[in-house]
Amino acid sequence: MLVDGPATHQAMHAAIAQARDHVNLQSYIVDASDVGERLAQLLKQKAAQGVKVNVLYDSVGSIKTPREFFRGLTEAGVAVCEFNPVKKAPAKLNNRDHRKILVVDGRVAFTGGVNISETYASGSRRARRVQDQERDRKEGWRDTHVQVAGPVVAQFQRLFLDAWALQDCGPWAEARYYPRLERRGDQAMRVVGSDPGSGKSEMYAALLEAVRGARSRVWLTVGYFVPDPDTKEALMQAARRGVDVRLVLPGFSDFWAPVYAGRSHYEELLAAGVRIYEWHEALMHAKTAVIDSSWSSIGSTNLDWRSFVHNYEADLIVQDAGFAREMERRFREDIAASEEIDADAWRARGAGEKLKEWLARQWEYLL
């Protein structure tokens, strides 16, 4: 498990530096900040060494990135593809590639919530030390990523190559995309994706099943929380049957509407016994779950309509008690940095806050 941007990017750069055959990168945001430039220089170096480098970025997520940035990669021998270009595919404007996947030599893979963006130039500890909410919207985000090896890497590779083919990015360069992979441990892992083209979200189904079957605890950390009726009902039913259900959610975000749409559901959740915590000292962007001290997930999927219906997503599910303990330790640290929502105080919130919640909820299907 990798916590926050600096640690994640350091691990990704180290893996890329060791690449001998290929590097496949898929990211919602690839920007031209110092973070993006450092990665770009490394990718150019690997391409110059004969490594096959493929980069797939989302047209909307990376809309502020100058064309010159991607042109520089192409001129250096990097294959670059734009996912659902805004100008060329306006009918697919609402279907975004929200995945964050890196595969190196078909042997190591990364996924989670961390983009290639200036928002990850520093870690969330800095944001907590220096209280500046406007600055925290731009950097120091709290996020979680994961690095894996072993047979599960082939599942990430398939997601990437399928997305490349879907976008008609042209034939990928010949490389050893599927080397023989030996087991690296006893952890059971699988990759789940969301594909609006197929009309299904594997992560949605897997999470609902895990919550509905939970016996002791459901601990979720969610960057954007705008639950559909089934997800909300599953959380409330779990709490009512005595399961320890806790949510760590953002107290502010880069866009106000998802926060208030999520808050419009708090009263029902609190009444059912769900405990809710908000991060106010840094922007919470992680998407993780740990259930019954054995089932865990890390990925790009939020608990909102956009992730479940509109976006292409990717998550790793791990069924292992040791990894779950690590996730629980991180969750407790996040709770310690959060403020718990008191049910009585919440019911007494002002009319202005309730109005914002009502307005945001009218648009929750698109958030």
Q: Which positions are catalytic?
A: 98, 100, 105, 285, 287, 292
- Cα dihedral 330→158→227→121 (10° resolution): 50
CA geometry: angle at 204 spanning 83 and 230, to 5°?
130
CA distance 186 to 206: 21
Pair 312, 194: CB distance under 8 Å: yes
List of residues 6+ apart from 364 with CB closer than 8 A:
226, 261, 304, 305
Closest CA to 301 of 103, 293, 109, 311: 311
- Cα dihedral 137→139→144→149 (10° resolution): 140
List of residues 6+ apart from 367 with CB closer than 8 A:
224, 226, 257, 258, 261, 304, 305, 306, 360
Instruction: Give the C-alpha distances (Å, rounded to integers) separating 168 from 85, 171, 176, 313, 366.
Output: 12, 8, 21, 19, 27
Q: How many CB atoms lie within 10 A of CB 285?
A: 27
Tokens of 110: 């990364």
- Helix (H) / strand (E) containing 150: none
Q: How many CB atoms lie within 10 A of CB 77?
A: 17
List of residues 6+ apart from 132 with CB closer than 8 A:
none
CA distance 266 to 45: 49
